[in-house]
Chains A and B, each alone.
Chain A
Amino acid sequence: MIHFDNISKRYPGGHDALSRINLRLAKGQMAFLTGHSGAGKSTLLKLIAMIERPTRGQIFLDGVNLNNISNRKIPYIRRNIGIIFQNHHLLYDRPVFDNVAMPLIIQGYRRQEIHKRVRAALNQVGLLNKEKSDPITLSGGEQQRIGIARAIVHKPLLLLADEPTGNLDPELSREIMQLFARFNQVGTTVLIASHDLDLIKQMGAPAISLHNGQVEHNGLPYTAGTPVSR
C-alpha cells in the first residue's frame, strides 16, 4: 500500500527531517510510527498525504508514484486517504453532521447516500446522538471521535493518524485505538504516529521507530514489493 523508496526530506531551513527512509506497508496492515519529538513522524505522514513533497526518493501509494502527481491531481490522491490530527480540525461554524459530511459533499455524493454514510460513520464512533450538536459543545474525546468519523466516512483505503490520542486520558486513548483496530479489521490500512509506547504495546500492532529522521527499528513483517506501476 505504502512504499517509501530511499526518501529524504529537507525543510527549507536546511534541516533534514527524514533521511534515506525505506519502508513497505502492506495493504490491510496496521502499524504505529514512534520516535522522540522531532524524529520526523509528522513529516513522514505529511509526505504520504502530499502535504509536503520529498526532497529525494520516491513514494508509491497503492502502486502510484506520487512524484508523478501534479499539484492539481493531489485532491484525487487525498480522497483515498483519511487523515486524523491531534488537533482535530473540526469546523465550529456548522453542526457535527455537516462536519462529517464534508468529504462526501466534496466528492459529489447524493443526498440520501450522504445521510446514510454520515450516520453510519457517527454510529461507528458512538456519537450518532450528537449529529445535530455544535462541535464546540462536545468534549475533547468526542471531538476527536467526530474527526475520526469524518476521516472514515468516505471509506478510504488508508487511514493516517498523527497523535490522535495526544491530549486524551488513557481510557479514551485506548477506546480510540480500538476504533482504529476495528477499521483495520474491515480492510483499511492504518498508520498511526504516537509516542504512547504502553498503548502501542497493548495494541499488538507492529511499530516503526524513527530516530533523528532515520528508521531505528522496523517492526513491520516483511512483504514482497507491491507491484509498481508507472
Chain B
Amino acid sequence: MRNSPPRKNRFSAYLGNHLRVSFASLGRLYVQPVATLMTAAVIAIALALPMGLYIALDNVGQLSSGWDGSTQISLFLHTEVKTREAQKLMQRLQKHKAIKKVEFIDKDKGLEQFKEISGFGDALKHLDSNPLPIVLVVHPKMTTNQPDRTSQLVKELGKNKLVELAQLDVQWVKRLYTFLDIANRSIWVISSMLAIAVLLIVGNTIRLDIQNRCEEIEVSKLIGASDAFIRRPFLYTGIWYGLIGGVLAWIITQISLLLMEDPIHRLALLYHSDFRLSGLGAGLTLLLILFSCSLGLVGSWIAVRRHLKEIEPS
C-alpha cells in the first residue's frame, strides 16, 4: 500500500515540522503563564542553588590562593641556643633557595610581642627570667605557593638540631583547602540530587500534559501519527521548560551576586585586598543554559516513554 504525500524536499519539510512544533509548544506554555512560570521557577531555584554555591566556592578558592604567599614558618629554637649561633643559622637560611627572608626575634622582643598580644603583661612582669626561646620567622619564596612544598620546607627546617619546633603559622590555609575540597565534592552531590529533582519536576509536568491531551494523542494515533510525531511536542515542551528555568536561574544567580558584591568588596578592603566577586562568565552561562535544556529534554523523554504507550485508541 503506497499512498505517500508528494514531498519535493523531505528535509525542509522535516525542519519545517520541527520549527512549527517547537513554536506550537511554546505557544501552549505562553497561554498558561502562571503554571509555566511556577514550574520554571522550581527548576530555576533547583539550578540556582548549586550554581550559587559553586560561584561562592570558586571565589573563596581564588581569594585564598593569594594567602598562601603570606605563609610564615616560625622556628622556635632550643632555649639554650645563644644569639650568635642563632644569627649564624639565620644567615645560612637566608641563602636557602626556597626562602625569601628570615626575621630574627630575640628573647626580649619576643617577650614584648607576647605581652602585647596576650594581655598577660602584668603577670609576666613577675617572671625573674625570660622563658621564651629565640624565634626565627621564615618567609618562604612566593613561588613555593603549593601547600605541599611549604610543608616540605617546614619538615626540613624542623630537622635542624638548633630548632626545637618548626611551625607553619597558617595551618588554617591548609585546613581551608581541605574544607574547600569537601565543599566541592558536596556541591557535586547536591547538584546531582537537584538535577534529579529537576528531572522529576519536568517529568511530572509533562505527564500531566500528556493526560490533558489524551484525546488528541488518541486521535493522532488513529489517523496514523508515528510515535516520533506524537512525542515531539512534549519533548519540545520539556526543552522550553529547561530553557526558561535556565534563564531564570541565571537571573536569580546574577541578582544574588549583585546583592553580595558590595559587602564582600568592603570585607575584602578590610583585608587590604581589592578582591572582587567574579560572577557567571559567558562560558558558565552557556553551560548552565545547555544543562538545564538537556535536563528538560531528558525529563520529558522519561515521561513520554512511560506514558504515551498507555494511551491507545480503543
Residues of A participating in the B interface, judged by any CB pair closer than 8 Å: 46, 49, 51, 61-62, 64, 72, 75-81, 83, 89, 91, 93, 102-110, 113, 150-151, 154-157
Contact = CB atoms under 8 A, between A and B. Distances in A.
Given A108-B14, A110-B7, A155-B3, A91 B222 contact: no
A102 B4 CA distance: 15
B118 interface: no
Interface residues of B, number: 27
Contacts of B218: 89
A190 B8 CA distance: 31
Contacts of B265: none
B229 A106 contact: yes
B192 interface: no
Contact of A64 (B1, B7, B312): B1
B131 interface: no
Nearest to B6: A113
Nearest to A102: B223
A200 B229 CA distance: 38
Contact of A89 (B7, B10, B17, B215): B215
A83 B222 contact: yes
Given A75-B226, A108-B17, A102 B7 contact: no
A68 B7 CA distance: 28
Contacts of B267: none
A102 B223 CA distance: 8
A75 B226 CA distance: 6
Given A62-B1, A64-B1, A91 B215 contact: yes
Interface string B1-37: 1011111101001100100000000000000000000
Given A75-B224, A78-B222, A106-B224, A113 B5 contact: yes
Contacts of A155: 3
Contacts of B261: none
Contacts of A49: 222
Contacts of B312: 51
Contacts of B6: 113
Contacts of B223: 78-79, 83, 102-103, 106, 150-151
